[in-house]
Amino acid sequence: MSEKVPNFNPRMRISFKSTHKLALAEVRKMSDISRRTRDRIIQKDDLADLPDIVQKYMHRSQVIGKPWLHTIRLHQKGRIRMGPDKPWMNLVAEQHYFTDPPGFVWDARVKKGPLLSFSGRDKLFEGNGNMLIKVACFNVVDATGEKLDQGSMMRYLSEMIWFPAALLGPYIQWESISENAAKASLACGNKVVSGTFIYNDDGDVIDFRSQRYKDTTEDAGLLPWHTPVTGYGERGECRIPVKGSAVWTLDDGDFTYIDVEITNLAYNPET
């Protein structure tokens, strides 16, 4: 699910650019270089090499007979918080995904009451992550680095449940774990991340579990992280999870930091 805002630290660069304008420019750039497969329709044979539970999931998702995906646009609403003891804040966001090569741009607005708000832009491009945050009219946090790269790639992999046909693509490798679990690995250049999708007996994905960096500080280590699904619906002519959360497993218990709902989704939009 959508990214937790990184903690500020002195090594992060400061900028004053509009995150929204920047997000629009980056979407155009990624769209220009995105490789698009024209007229390809997903066939049953495309599922043949997948673990049995993933084949069942693809059938449940209704991807067979649908066009191959190259771009995805969705809108979200929900809530986010910065810590277990912090208040929830309302969130709205637009997100663009690209499948070849994998990438995304997340453009969010977060509001806590009438006086406090911030905008954020999260990005994955060529295996590199970047998070920008603008608080009110002032500072923007600019976070980069290997730990953010890993987190951004893990985010992309977990969110592919919103465009499941892309899980058939060449950037994903599958490994059967059990009757109700399969490991997926995402490769971007020379970087690879892996996580486990959990399914119920009907073949619906119900969770994604992995290890992820919570912060970009030097002493930050990998922590258990998962994204439970809380609701399904029809979007973009497919059956996908439309409600879910993201959760860190900390020493003192689980910390759910974001709840989101997909309000609108378009596959291969013209603009």
Domain ranges for the chain, please list them.
13-267
CATH code, 13-267: 2.50.20
**Two tokens at 54?**
């993933």
In the 8-state DSSP scheme, what is residue 144?
-
User: Is pLDDT at 22 greater than 90 in this prediction?
Assistant: no
- Its sign, for the CA torsion 124, 118, 109, 8, is positive
For 171, other C-beta atoms within 10 Å of its C-beta total 18
Tell me whether the omega of the peptide bond preceding residue 101 falls within 30 degrees of 0, making it cis. Answer: yes
pLDDT digits (tens, 9 = 90+) for 130-149: 999 887 555 557 889 999 99
In 10 A of CB 245, how many CB atoms?
19
Please name the amino acid found at residue 14: I
Checking if the pLDDT of 11 tops 80, the result is no
Confirm if 203 and 53 have CB atoms less than 8 A apart: yes
pLDDT above 90 as % of the chain: 77
Q: 3-class SS at 87?
A: coil
| 82 against 174, higher pLDDT | 174
Instruction: Count Cβ atoms within 10 A of the Cβ of residue 117 and give its class: 0-12 exposed, 13-18 middle, 19 or more buried.
Output: middle
> Are the CB atoms for 129 and 122 separated by under 8 Å?
yes
Q: What is the mean pLDDT of residues 108-126?
A: 87
What element of type H or E holds 93? strand 89-99
Mean pLDDT confidence for 166-194: 97
Arithmetic mean of pLDDT, 209-225: 95
Q: Please tell me the predicted confidence (pLDDT) of residue 140.
A: 59
pLDDT value at 216 more than 70: yes
| Range 39-65 average pLDDT | 96
Query: Which of 109-118, 141-150, 173-182, 241-250 shows the lowest mean pLDDT across its residues?
Result: 109-118
